[in-house]
Amino acid sequence: MILTFEIITFVLTGVLIYHSLRVRGTVFTVLFFVTGAILGVLRENIVARLTGLYAYNPDVFTLWVGAAPAILMVFWSFSVYISLTLSERLVHGDFLNGRRTIPIILLSMAFMGAYAASNEAMASVYPMVLWKFVPDVAVWGGAPLMVVFGYAGLAALMLIGVYGIQRRRWRGWVKVLVGALSTLIIIPLHLAWIALVRAVIGLFV
């Protein structure tokens, strides 16, 4: 069943890539989805191996890249792209050309937070994710409340990074390279954000 889910997710990501190529152009599409792929695989390997947050259930996923399920090559770009596109429509903005960028990013964060509540609950119950700590506050399914803010924060960091890079007057391959390297900044910033969220939640429970 999970293999089918993995295959469907990769196929649907292909649909999103096609949409982005038609609507946003080649450079943005490669920048966005390559950055998302590297961010997903690198971040999740770091978290799974080096932190006390969580690991992925080895009995569930079929395809792996190190300690991260291969599906994470597309997970963040898949979910952030959908949130971005819906947000653009709702606020009548244009992310590529810098029209109503802040409302687009804020609304994308809200969409990602809402998605986190349901997705992480399912992942915890199945279980796809094995939490290494007992959360102070959990959403349904036992997933920590911090995941809501975690998804939102990563969406913001990724979108801000991609936006800043794609606005530069660089060659396409330079933008993609800088996008790939930007993950080395996004990941520690996101882990710091998660630590801050956990600390703030801990103040109220």
- Please, which residues bridge with residue 99 across strands? 94
Distance CA 37, CA 23 (A): 20
Half-sphere exposure of 149 (CA within 13 A, CB side): 17
What is the chain's pLDDT, residue by residue, as a tens digit (205 residues)?
Answer: 678 888 999 999 999 999 999 999 999 999 999 999 999 999 999 988 888 888 899 888 999 999 899 999 999 999 999 999 999 999 999 999 999 999 999 999 999 999 998 898 888 888 888 888 888 888 877 889 999 999 999 999 999 999 999 999 999 999 999 999 999 999 999 999 999 999 999 888 7
What pLDDT does 37 receive? Answer: 97
What pLDDT does 157 receive? Answer: 98
Using the 8-state DSSP alphabet, how is residue 134 labeled? -
**Exposure b/e, 113-148, CB count within 10 A at least 16 = b:** bebbbebbbebbeebbbebeeebeebbebebbbbbb
* Runs of H (alpha helix) within the chain: 2-23, 26-50, 72-91, 101-125, 146-166, 172-203
The structure tokens listed for 5 are 């889910």
Distance CA 166, CA 27 (A): 8
What pLDDT does 151 receive? Answer: 97
What pLDDT does 142 receive? Answer: 80
What pLDDT does 38 receive? Answer: 97
Using the 8-state DSSP alphabet, how is residue 61 labeled? -
Using the 8-state DSSP alphabet, how is residue 56 labeled? E
